[in-house]
Structure formats: C-alpha cells, structure tokens
Structure 1
Amino acid sequence: MSSNFQLKKQKILQQLNVPVHEYTDLSPKGSVDEGIRELVDEVNAIPGLVTTSSCAGRVAVFLEGAKKDASADITVDSQPFAGPGGKGGGRWLYISHEPIDVKEELGNLSLYEFLGFESAPARSAQEIHPNVNQRTVRFKFEPMILHVLTGSLDDAQKVITAALAAGFRESGAVGLAPNHDGSVTPVVSVRTNGLTFDSIVGYETNTSSLRTIVDEAYLLHLCLTANERFNENTSRIQRFREALKSRYQRTSSEKKGTNWEDSNLRRDRKRQEGLQKQLLLRSFDNASSPSAKVEDSQEHIDTGLFDG
C-alpha cells in the first residue's frame, strides 16, 4: 500500500476524530450523519479503505436557484444560475436524514408550514405559471451515497462488488490512472438511483413568498413514500456492510492459508477429505512395487488428491 494513500487516510481520520461539537464539513448538515457513522467507522477500520464523503440518505425540500432568462440580452456574471436539476444558488427549506414522523413532528403546524411554505396552494394555472423563469420548489428523496478512497485496484473491486450485491447498482470508480508514485488509488462511489425521486411541489412568487401547487394530502403522500424509501435504504446499507465484511474476511482467511466457506461447504469438504484419506491409505497398503507406486501416484493426481 502506497505512502501516498496512507498519508491521505491519516489526514482524513484526524478530521473525523475531532470532538463532535467541533467537527464540521461542507454538507448542509455539517457533520457525518448518525445513521451512517457506524458504517463509516467500519469502512475506515479496513487498512485499504477510507471514506471521503457520505450521506445516509435524506428527504429534502429545496428552492432551486435563479433561472437564466434566455430572452434577456444582458448577462450578470456574478449571478449563480441554476442548472437543469435546480442546483446553483438555491436553498434548503427542509431537510432530514431519517424518516419523517408526521404526527410527532408537526405539532400545531400545517404540513405546508412544516416543509417551509408560507402560503396555501395556488388556485389557478395563472398563479402557478406567471412566467417561465419562476423558481420552483422540489421535494426530493436521495438514498445513501458513500465515497471511498481505496488503496489499490483490488480494494476498489471489493467495494464495488459489495455495493452491487447490496443493491447500489450505479456504483463505480474513478481515479484509475496511476499517481505520481506509480500507485493506483481509485475513489469508489457507492450509490443507486433506484430509490431516488424528485417532485416539483411549489414555486416562488413575484413577491418572493413560497407557495405550493399541490394539496396537503399529496404532500403527505410524498412524506410517506420517502419513509418507505428510507426503510429500503436502511436495508441496503446493512446488506452492503455485511457484503463488504464478507469480502475482507474471505481475503483474510485466504492469506492465512484457508478458504472462506459457509458451514455446508465445510461439511462437504470434510467428508470428501475423509474419503480421499481412506483412498490414500489403501493405495499405500496395496503398493508392492515401484511400478505400482507410479501408477498409484498418477491416480491420486487424476482424482484431485494433490490439489494444492
């Protein structure tokens, strides 16, 4: 494992190990999500891996950034315009990294107010679409995403294999080119788009207030759908943990000279080894001449007695 990787891992772990009240990062939350902290610690305990960023999964209401007016002749360079997904100059109205307990969390608020809106739904198409450059409000669910810096191509392959097996089907790696010291340290992105959804639920009026375009029943349905996705997301995270642990336990066993196997495979192997031992002892008892020994040895090779 390269010293370049070791230095990067040491620096990242130093940042993660500061006291919770002092730690901050560039995410909207500013810290590692509680729902994924245990997984992050387990990944970082593996010598060839270290996490560089993570999100346990989240439900969010987001006001997209300003849209660039295609009909305008002037361009304001300092204005951050939103891209096709609404990112760029927007702001979060609501965000949670765990399921929404609607009954418990709302209190005296309406669901509109709870999610960051300031007024009731619009009542006409004219109110909803006064112009094409209006900023929209999106209700989003995004599953876990985890970026892992790996110490080798073999480590990267183990992470990707575990991720795909757990249902994170869009996982992959970047940084496959050699570093200056000749080492290869890919960054693996563990992710899936299969649980993601994004629904436009409101807009910003000309007076900068936020208004919904759906009723409260629809917003409640989105919250309940997000909760279902959270449950499946949690299951996939657990499957990923188990698959990753299995890959590295198998490697550890192989390095010690044993093969990783479950109880059924072990039972079958022991039975086969017993039969082979009996055959070997019988062949030595029957051997009475050099030519016989040569023939017996060839038989042993053919029947797999000397497989490694």
Structure 2
Amino acid sequence: MEPFRMRKEQRLRPGTDRSRAGGVDPAISGLVDRLNLSERYCSTSSCSGRILLLGGSDQTEVQKQNCSWLFVTHQKCQKEDVIAGLQKAQDNAVFKFEPFILHVQCRKMEDAQLLHSVAINSGFRNSGITVGKKGKIMMAVRSTHCLEVPLCHQGTVLVSEEYIDYLVQVANQKMEENQKRIERFYTGLQSALSAPVPTERLDENVSTADSSYTRRRRRRTMKKERGNGELTAHSDSESDLAFLMGST
C-alpha cells in the first residue's frame, strides 16, 4: 500500500480524533466529507471558525494549553455571552475571533496546487503548501481576518460595556464573512473535484520534492560556482514547487 493511502486510513480511522470537539464542526462536516471522499486528499485538522474568550495568566502559544475557555461559539455571539465569561475570569482574558482553518494532506503536488488555487480564489489568501523531508505534502487553508483584544488584566476589566458591544459586532461581521468564504471554497472544491483528472501527472516532482535538501544543494552549487568565477542559472522545479504561499 502506498504511504499516502496508508496514512489516510490511519488518520480517518474511528476514534483517532483528539481535538477538543472530538469531531469535525457541523458547519463544515459536508465540506470535509467531500474532501475525504476523494482519493487525492485527507483532512488532518479543521475548525469552522470561532469566537472565544480565553482566560489565564498567559495567552501565548506556548502557554495556551494551560488557559481556560471562558466562552466559545462557532456562531455569532451576544454581548451578554462575553460579559458572563468575563465574570469567570480570575486573571487575564482575551476576546478572539479565529477564522476557518483546514489542514489537508495531498497525494501529489498538483493536487495540492489545485486545492491552493481554490482556497486563494475563495478569499483564503494566507493559504500555503509545505513539503516534508519524506515527501509528505500538506496544504493549509487559512485567512488573515482575525481579531484579538485583551479585555481583562489581573482580574480587572479594562474596557466598557459599550466597547464590548462594539467588539461583538465586529466579531459577528467577521463570522459572516468567514461563512461566505467557506461557501465559496466548498463550491470551488466541488467544481475542482468534478473536473477530469489530467492524464499527464507530474509524478517525478512529488517523488523528489524534499525541499530542504534541494535548496541546500542548490545553494552549495551556486556558492562553489561563484568561487570558480562562474555563475550558471539552474532550473530547479522541485524547490520552486516545495513552498507556495498566497499573498496576504
């Protein structure tokens, strides 16, 4: 069995989801199911987008696991929801909106490029492709319309109720835009997966797509040629395809 198919079977096996929710968010379950029905893709993690109030002494990524979730929803929220969450804060509290995110393992590089194109055209302009040392191809669907505002510090609420109301309106607007982008992405995904698969596949690009090694080898070659007084332009499609990022 090929490595991609083996990893996909292991990943989608019942009982292997270790996320906080324990499963795919209902708002994107149809999208994720459609993706996984394709032999070309396997979802590894996802979130439909959320509004949350995060409490704790430190909200950095390093300490995030030790923080408390004072309030969280994957839909629009009300001012009263946030105020009720703040009443439970004992130290610091940060109000956040986090947009839709999806990580997908792709069978081949051209499959990742196709998904990347769908994501960019749907408004997820921070999406990108990475290739691991063993040729594992990952595609991340991401956007930049986030929101993060401190509301409480050492148990003291820093803002007025009117400002909280304003933040909730902003977060809800972002949630609306988030849903529109998800719908565009789903429509584009269905169209892309329904299109005929090209008969000519760039298999050689996938089998030799160890980007880190390729870039280091290229730099060493160019440095050596500079020392010899010669500099020859090299065509290196492997490293060019190894990492693609959408513009923010």
How does the TM-score come out when normalised to structure 2?
Answer: 0.72
What residue is the counterpart of 2:44 in the other structure?
A: 52
Is 1:26 matched up with 2:19? yes
Is 1:100 matched up with 2:77? yes
* Farther-moved stretch of structure 1 (86-95 vs 233-242): 86-95
Q: How does 1:83-94 map to 2 (within 5 A)?
A: 83=60, 87=64, 89-94=66-71
Q: Is the 2:127–2:140 contact (alpha carbons within 8 Å) kept by the matching residues of 1?
A: yes
State which of 204, 227, 235 in structure 1 corresponds to 2:180.
235
What residue is the counterpart of 2:136 in the other structure?
A: 185
Is 1:226 matched up with 2:219? no
What residue is the counterpart of 2:101 in the other structure?
A: 145
1:14 match: secondary structure: coil
Larger Rg computed on CA atoms: 1
* Paired AA for residue 56 in structure 1: S
Map Cα deviations across residues 179-211 of structure 1 (whole Å, 9 max, x no partner). 3xxxx4311110011x10101111233xxxxx3
Map Cα deviations across residues 109-132 of structure 1 (whole Å, 9 max, x no partner). x8522x24248xxxxxxxxxxxxx
Is 1:117 matched up with 2:73? no
Q: How does 1:124-273 map to 2 (within 5 A)?
A: 136-177=92-133, 179=134, 184-193=135-144, 195-205=145-155, 211-252=156-197
Runs (5+) with no aligned partner, structure 2 = 200-248
Q: Distance in 1 between matches of 2:166 and 2:46?
A: 27
What residue is the counterpart of 2:229 in the other structure?
A: none
* Paired AA for residue 98 in structure 1: Q
What residue is the counterpart of 2:209 in the other structure?
A: none
Runs (5+) with no aligned partner, structure 1 = 67-81, 120-133, 206-210, 256-308
Distance 1:49 1:220, change over 3 A: same
* Paired AA for residue 187 in structure 2: E
Identical aligned residues as a percent: 28
* Paired AA for residue 141 in structure 2: V
Q: Is the 1:168–1:191 contact (alpha carbons within 8 Å) kept by the matching residues of 2?
A: yes
How does the TM-score come out when normalised to structure 1?
Answer: 0.59
For residue 64 of structure 1, report the CA deviation from its aligned partner: 3.9
Q: Is the 2:86–2:93 contact (alpha carbons within 8 Å) kept by the matching residues of 1?
A: no
Q: Distance in 1 between matches of 2:150 and 2:42?
A: 36
Q: Distance in 1 between matches of 2:49 and 2:74?
A: 6
* RMSD of aligned Cα (Å): 2.5
For residue 38 of structure 1, report the CA deviation from its aligned partner: 1.0
2:69 match: secondary structure: strand
Q: Distance in 1 between matches of 2:82 and 2:189?
A: 40
Instruction: Give the number of equivalent residue pairs.
Output: 199
For residue 155 of structure 1, report the CA deviation from its aligned partner: 0.8
Q: Is the 1:65–1:87 contact (alpha carbons within 8 Å) kept by the matching residues of 2?
A: no
Greater strand fraction, Structure 1 or Structure 2: 2
Map Cα deviations across residues 122-154 of structure 1 (whole Å, 9 max, x no partner). xxxxxxxxxxxx953110001000000110101
* Paired AA for residue 188 in structure 1: M
Q: Is the 2:70–2:88 contact (alpha carbons within 8 Å) kept by the matching residues of 1?
A: no
Q: Distance in 2 between matches of 1:86 and 1:59?
A: 19
1:192 match: secondary structure: coil
Q: Is the 1:117–1:212 contact (alpha carbons within 8 Å) kept by the matching residues of 2?
A: no
1:167 match: secondary structure: coil
